[in-house]
Structure 1
Amino acid sequence: MEITLNDLTINPEGIDLDELLQDWNWAMPEPMRPVLLTALGDVFAEGENGAVYFVDVIEGHIRMVAEDGAAFEELLSDAEFVTDHFFPARVLELRDAGIELEPNEVYSHQQPLVLGGSDELENYETSDVSIYLSILGQIHEQVKDLPEGTVISDVEIEDIE
């Protein structure tokens, strides 16, 4: 089955892009706005200086991937970059398992990996992208300074409106 970039991203129509990364401000090297949302919940965002960043919701990191929009466009035609950032094999697995996305949804982990969840298909579900990004931003901020291997027993999530 052939897969396209449209299959690996979600349509941002109806999503408040100005608020989408609000719970990731703590990790931003500069103010940024989403430009591309992946089906697995990661975000590519453009900073005020024009650089494009990758918001990795699994690792809880934001890193620059391109100095400007033109360089980012080039990366989108690089098969290795697409594989490393959009995970087409996993998206196909989820679709083959009958897990389909509705508008404004992304594939998500029922138990986040940072809280000990597994990356097995049984731990996947679909979630509203805004809620998913908010929750993971809050979790990663709370655990960012903990030593590797720390057992986490209590995580507070603010209400999402």
Structure 2
Amino acid sequence: MEITLNDLTINPEGIDIDELLNDWAWAMPEPMRPVLLTALGDLFAQGESGAVYFIDVIEGDIRPVAEDGSTFEELLSDTEFVTDHLFPARVVELRDAGIELEANQVYSHQQPLVLGGSDELENYETSEVSVYISILGQIHEQVKDLPEGTVISDVEIEDIE
């Protein structure tokens, strides 16, 4: 199956881009605005400095990937970069499993990995992108100061669609 950058990203039409990162402000090294949304719910955002960052909603961190927008655009042609940040093999697996995205949806974990969920296909579903990014920002903020290996219990995850 041939896969394109369009298959690995979602169209931002109908998404309030200015509000999308509100629940990630605690982790931002500088004010930033989303520039690319991945099918797996991660984002690339450009800061006021011009630098482009990868917002990893699974790991709960934000890291720089390019000094500026044109350097970032070049990276999108690099197979290794795309594999490491947009996870084409996983997107193909999800599609092959019959999980299709509708407008404004991303692939998401039913139980987030940070709360003990698995990265198996059975733990995937689709979620509305704004809700998914918001919830994971809130979860990561709440657990960021817990020691490595802390067991989190009594967590109830409701359908976020």
- The Cα RMSD (Å) is 1.5
Paired with 1:49 and 1:151, the residues of 2 have a C-alpha distance of: 38
Paired with 1:156 and 1:120, the residues of 2 have a C-alpha distance of: 19
In structure 1, the residue matched to 2:107 is 107
> How many percent identity over aligned positions?
88
Q: Helix, strand or coil for the counterpart of 2:151?
A: coil
In structure 2, the residue matched to 1:64 is 64
Structure 1 runs of 4+ off > 3 angstroms?
A: 154-157
Paired with 1:73 and 1:155, the residues of 2 have a C-alpha distance of: 40
In structure 2, the residue matched to 1:7 is 7
Paired with 2:50 and 2:33, the residues of 1 have a C-alpha distance of: 10
Shift in Å, 1:155: 6.0
In structure 2, the residue matched to 1:96 is 96
Q: Does 1:131 align with 2:127?
A: no
Paired with 1:154 and 1:103, the residues of 2 have a C-alpha distance of: 33
Paired with 2:104 and 2:14, the residues of 1 have a C-alpha distance of: 7
Paired with 1:38 and 1:63, the residues of 2 have a C-alpha distance of: 16
Where do 5+ consecutive residues of structure 1 fail to align? none
Q: Does 1:35 align with 2:38?
A: no
Is the contact between residue 139 and residue 155 of structure 1 (CA under 8 Å) also seen in structure 2? no
Return closer, same or farther for 1:94/1:156 CA change in 2, 3 Å cut-off.
closer
Q: TM-score, normalised by structure 2?
A: 0.95
Q: Helix, strand or coil for the counterpart of 2:101?
A: coil
Residues 72-106 of structure 1: CA distance to partner in whole angstroms, max 9, x if unpaired?
Answer: 01100000000000000000000000000000000
Where do 5+ consecutive residues of structure 2 fail to align? none
Paired with 2:114 and 2:145, the residues of 1 have a C-alpha distance of: 13
In structure 1, the residue matched to 2:53 is 53
Q: Helix, strand or coil for the counterpart of 1:62?
A: strand
In structure 2, the residue matched to 1:119 is 119
In structure 2, the residue matched to 1:24 is 24
Paired with 1:21 and 1:34, the residues of 2 have a C-alpha distance of: 8
Is the contact between residue 21 and residue 134 of structure 1 (CA under 8 Å) also seen in structure 2? yes
Paired with 2:156 and 2:50, the residues of 1 have a C-alpha distance of: 34
Which residue identity lines up with residue 82 of structure 2 in the other structure?
A: V
In structure 2, the residue matched to 1:151 is 151
Which residue identity lines up with residue 64 of structure 1 in the other structure?
A: P
Return closer, same or farther for 1:71/1:7 CA change in 2, 3 Å cut-off.
same
Is the contact between residue 142 and residue 155 of structure 1 (CA under 8 Å) also seen in structure 2? no
Shift in Å, 1:7: 0.2
